[in-house]
Amino acid sequence: MKRIFPDFAYGDGPRAGCWWDETVAPVEHPVLRGDVRCDVAIVGAGFTGLSAALTLARAGASVVVLDANRAGWGASGRNGGFCCLGGGMASDASLDRRFGRAGRLEWRRAEVAAVAYVGQLAASLGLDIDRHSQGETCVLHKPGLLPVFEGEAARIEENYGVVPTFLGADQMRDAGMAGPFHGAMTIPVGFGLNPGKLLCGVLSAALSAGAQIYDQSPATRVAGTTVETPGGRVHADRVIVSTNGYSSEDIPAAMAARYMPAQSTVLVTRPITAQERAQQGWTSDQMAYDSRNLLHYFRLMPDGRFLFGMRGGLRSSPAAEDAARRALMRDFRAMFPEWAGVDVTHCWSGMVCLARNLLPFVGALPGQSGVLAGFAYHGNGVAMGMFSGSILADLALGRAPALYPQAMRTPARRFPFGAARRIVMPPVYAALNVLDR
């Protein structure tokens, strides 16, 4: 596997301290030994791969899922649990230019459908995923932004078919959302969840439907539609690559330079008492993020713990990880000063994935017959990863997906500088930091 971050990023160091691991029982799967045959081989057992596996197995296909570590080890088992709109970062203007208004609305419809997909699947499987929050709230970090956001209301309604609501700073205090904020906008789509519980539920449904899952079985080569691992090979009719931020340049070669891993870091506190919540003025269970480009995301969870996350560092090493965690702690305490003394019991990092066109790609990899891939959810892959997995399953089965926007079909262009492409990120982050002031 040729990967573009240092080895530390692909080990257990950044993952150590993940709260979700304490909320679900660990599940182990065998290592692949010998040769097996199946209809579809899936590389990567996160939301994308497991959602595809579930859909395929339910349709009667034989499915083998391989993970280099263990199912849920990647971003899917360690994210912030915002099941929300997103998946891409392309602006409306750029979507209109590339796909026309109809193409933009088709993509925006998919964002909403992705959230509904997760909600319906969890309900149909009877999963208790600690669901909370009525949509998602953007809190404004600068004065003067409220009228700008209010001016977007009609466009949001056109995109998502819902009406956003707005609060001034005083109204935010009344709503239990006090802080260094200058207003808020809520779009009533999305909810918070425990990603570990969702992952385990989908995993166990996929197993029950007949999918075979192998841990510690890294794909080391994809030759045609045969996937090689150190312990054996999977001979399949189709291959789905669902490795997102943990992708490699050579698994398969068509992935090279089409994805950009980026780190995100999260902390979770001990349960915060009702009195402490009142002191800080944040009593709402609404999931929220701030209006910065390099944003912070946070939510008070049903058990009273507070989750707070933001972008991670640009480098990966024990020292860089410590620095990212310190920066996260600093921003948390600056935004919620009354909780400065509250113990932070858990903190961890992981990889999200960006693409040059700022949109996810879901479809057949160019020049790689029989091999499909789904990746680049731009830090919002809880809903979009699950949804993309179901599209990939349809494509592998030769079925037309019910909703498969043109915007997701365009193969991601390669980044410049090949395997050295991370050098484009420091100037990008620096520019975004300036814009955020």
Ligand X SMILES: Cc1cc2nc3c(=O)[nH]c(=O)nc-3n(C[C@H](O)[C@H](O)[C@H](O)COP(=O)(O)OP(=O)(O)OC[C@H]3O[C@@H](n4cnc5c(N)ncnc54)[C@H](O)[C@@H]3O)c2cc1C
Which residues are at the interface with ligand X (CB under 6 A)? 1, 43-49, 66-69, 73-76, 78-82, 84, 218-219, 242-246, 248, 251, 264, 266, 309, 349-352, 377, 379-383, 385
Closer to ligand X by Cβ: residue 146 or 392: 392
CB of 336 vs ligand X, minimal distance in Å:
18
Residue 48 CB, nearest approach to ligand X (Å): 4
Residue number with the smallest Cβ distance to ligand X: 381
Q: Which is closer to ligand X, CB of 146 or CB of 234?
A: 234
CA proximity to 308, closest of 269, 339, 338, 270: 269
- Phi, psi values for residue 178, rounded to 5°: -75, 150
What per-residue string of b and e applies to 418-433 under the rule 16 or more CB within 10 Å gives b?
eeebbeeeeeebeeee
Q: Cβ neighbours of residue 123 under 8 Å, at least 6 residues apart?
A: none
Could you give the 3-state DSSP secondary structure of residue 363? strand
CB of 265 to ligand X, least distance (A): 6
Name the residue nearer to ligand X (CB basis): 81 or 169.
81
Alpha-helical runs (H) found in 43-91: 47-58
Nearer to ligand X by Cβ, of 80 and 196: the residue is 80
CB of 64 to ligand X, least distance (A): 11
Residues 272 and 107: their CA atoms lie apart, in Å, by 38
To ligand X, the closest distance from the beta carbon of 170 in angstroms equals 29
Q: Residue written as tokens 């425990």?
A: 194
Collect all residues with Cβ–Cβ distance below 8 Å to 186 and sequence separation of at least 6.
Answer: 134, 135, 136, 137, 138, 164, 165, 166, 167, 286
3-state secondary structure of 68: coil
Residue nearer to ligand X on the CB measure, 122 or 251: 251
Task: Report in angstroms how near the CB of residue 143 gets to ligand X at its nearest.
Answer: 27
- Whole-angstrom distance, CA of residue 148 vs CA of residue 140: 10
The nearer residue to ligand X, 146 or 393, going by C-beta atoms, is 393
Axis crossing angle, helix 47-58 with helix 195-208, rounded to the nearest 10: 30
Work out how close the CB of 83 gets to ligand X at its nearest, in angstroms, rounded to a whole number.
Answer: 7
| Cβ-based nearer residue to ligand X, 335 or 351 | 351
